[in-house]
Amino acid sequence: MSPGDLSALWLTLKLAGLVTLILLLLGTPLAWWLAHSRCRLKPAIEALVALPIVLPPSVLGFYLLVALGPHGPIGLVTQSLGLGTLPFTFAGLVLASIIYSLPFVVQPLQQAFAAIPPGLYEAAATLRARPLDRWLSIALPLARPGFLTAGILGFAHTLGEFGVVLMVGGNIEGETRVVSVQIYDHVEAMDYGAAHRLALTLLTLSFLVLVLLYRQRQPWRL
């Protein structure tokens, strides 16, 4: 594998890891809210979260590019904060991936939270547990399978993204050139051998991650 391949692989893992971590932090309160809210806006928020599943990545990437660009709403904010614009940077890629992979983290978490009988929190309250304590001692452990599924799906999905990366991140080595883009480059250059090596690596990696997912999805043993 060439130094370019290794750099792309490292960048991909870094991106997927960082995005998964941020998504678990942001997705947990969002999923909790979606699981328990009776707000009228809830269906709209749920649809918004789920949009990346149905939209072609290029559509999502296009709008992100416009929004993050020098005249876009997010671009104006980042410029006024002195951060410059985010397209074609690693930070922009992270932001785009967070939106792209959001449903894959939020949905399993939401399902896991919704499956916990609310009577258990009442029981915990009568056993002197404060609200945060109830969440940490009841919701968190009972939603553990949901967290594992969410983390693994978020990670795996970010590993495989291509369209959004190409639109928002472009193709800058060490900054935005992830494995999927590097493979595309190899194929463009008719270097099928190099493409094979990297493609097989990604395939194996994705397969292993999914095996991990399905192993923990087996009947929950206590």
- Applying CB under 8 A, the residues found at the interface with another protein are 117, 119-120, 122-131, 133, 137-138, 141-142, 222
CB of 21 to another protein, least distance (A): 24
Distance CA 61, CA 181 (A): 14
- By beta-carbon proximity to another protein, the closer residue of 83 and 127 is 127
Choice between 132 and 190, CB closer to another protein: 132
Nearer to another protein, 123 or 203 (CB): 123
DSSP class of residue 178 equals: -
CB of 137 to another protein, least distance (A): 7
* Between 59 and 138, CB nearer to another protein: 138
C-beta of residue 24 within 8 angstroms of C-beta of residue 147:
yes
Closest approach of Cβ 135 to another protein, in Å?
13
- Whichever of 83 and 123 has its CB closer to another protein, that residue is 123
Q: Which is nearer to another protein, 144 or 217 (CB)?
A: 144
Q: Least distance to another protein from the beta carbon of 37, Å?
A: 19
- 182-186's contacts with Cβ under 8 Å and 24+ in sequence apart are 182/4, 182/5, 182/8
Residue listed under structure tokens 């993050």: 68
Helices (H), the chain: 3-36, 42-54, 57-68, 73-80, 90-114, 119-126, 131-134, 140-142, 144-159, 163-164, 179-188, 192-216
The answer for residues whose C-beta is within 8 angstroms of residue 62's C-beta and 6 or more apart is 167
Q: Please state the closest distance from residue 32 (CB atom) to another protein, in A.
A: 18
Spatial CB neighbours of 196, under 8 Å, sequence gap ≥ 6: none
Give the nearer residue to another protein in terms of CB position, either 3 or 118. 118
Could you tell me the sign of the dihedral formed by the alpha carbons of 75, 76, 79, 81, in that order?
negative
Maximum alpha-carbon separation in the chain: 68
Q: How far is the CB of 23 from another protein (least distance, A)?
A: 24
Can you spell out the DSSP letters for 110-123?
HHHHHTS-THHHHH
Q: What is the nearest approach in angstroms of another protein to the Cβ of residue 118?
A: 10
